[in-house]
């Protein structure tokens, strides 16, 4: 199972680096940020005024399709995951914290908080640190009931794990983006609504 999870994350991060801005590592240049990342009240930008980024496994030979709607303070994503042969399939939403990819000091916070409803599919969230050079970012699964209700989900930074690398602690002074990822090892579908992403 860990090998499969590592394949998922490795494929994700290799593709995500195609669209993510260049990151400058080192906590010395980090600055702080307000806790609200996105309340989805703007069509294209998060609450920090930065464009949301979307990418899926078509960059790696997959055929995943995604339908995206942002309205009334909610982002709705659904689609069919059709993985590349012999690889996991995925669809990722990246929320940047700094326009130039600079590290942000989040040491005053305990983790990432979501207000989310999952109808079907598997989701994970990663805190992307500029200190991680092989793109094996610290991540945690989103585990809630598919009950048509919005749930507040708290993902502590100290519970996030790397998939295939040494289990180093997450340096919360060096995070420059947050990723929300729907994934599957075989053909399947996903459907979720999210109203808020913040730090707590």
Q: Does the domain at residues 2-199 carry the CATH identifier 2.60.120.430?
A: yes
Which residue from 30, 39, 192 is spatially nearest to 105, judged by alpha carbons?
A: 30
| Whole-number CA gyration radius for the chain | 16
Output the pTM of the full model.
Answer: 0.83
The residues, any chain, with a CB within 8 Å of residue 176's CB and separated by 6 or more, are 23, 96, 97, 98, 101, 102, 103, 104, 128, 129, 130
| Pairing relationship of beta strands 53-56 and 65-71 according to DSSP bridges | unpaired
Instruction: Write down the domain spans for the chain.
Output: 2-199
Instruction: Convert the pLDDT of each residue in 133-149 to its tens digit.
Output: 987 899 999 999 999 99
pLDDT tens profile 80-116: 999 998 888 999 999 999 999 999 999 999 999 999 9
Q: How far is residue 97's CA from residue 117's CA, in Å, rounded to a whole number?
A: 23
Quick one: average pLDDT of 150-179? 96
pLDDT (0 to 100) of residue 30: 55
Name the pLDDT band for 22 (thresholds 50, 70, 90).
Answer: very low
């Amino acid at each position: 199972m860990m090998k499969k999870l590592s394949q998922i994350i490795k494929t994700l991060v290799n593709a995500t680096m195609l669209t993510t801005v260049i990151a400058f590592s080192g906590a010395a240049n980090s600055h702080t940020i307000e806790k609200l990342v996105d309340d989805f009240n703007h069509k294209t930008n998060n609450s920090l005024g930065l464009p949301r980024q979307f990418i899926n496994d078509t960059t790696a030979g997959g055929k995943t399709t995604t339908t995206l709607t942002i309205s009334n303070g909610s982002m709705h994503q659904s689609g069919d995951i059709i993985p590349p042969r012999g690889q996991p399939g995925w669809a990722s939403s990246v929320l940047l914290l700094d326009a130039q990819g600079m590290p942000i000091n989040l040491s005053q916070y305990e983790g990432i908080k979501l207000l989310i409803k999952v109808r079907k599919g598997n989701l994970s969230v990663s805190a992307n640190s500029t200190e991680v050079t092989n793109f094996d970012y610290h991540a945690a699964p989103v585990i809630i009931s598919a009950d048509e209700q919005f749930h507040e989900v708290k993902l502590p930074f100290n519970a996030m794990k790397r998939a295939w690398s040494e289990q180093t602690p997450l340096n919360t002074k060096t995070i420059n983006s947050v990723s929300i990822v729907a994934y599957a090892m075989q053909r399947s579908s996903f459907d979720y609504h999210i109203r808020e992403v913040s730090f707590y």
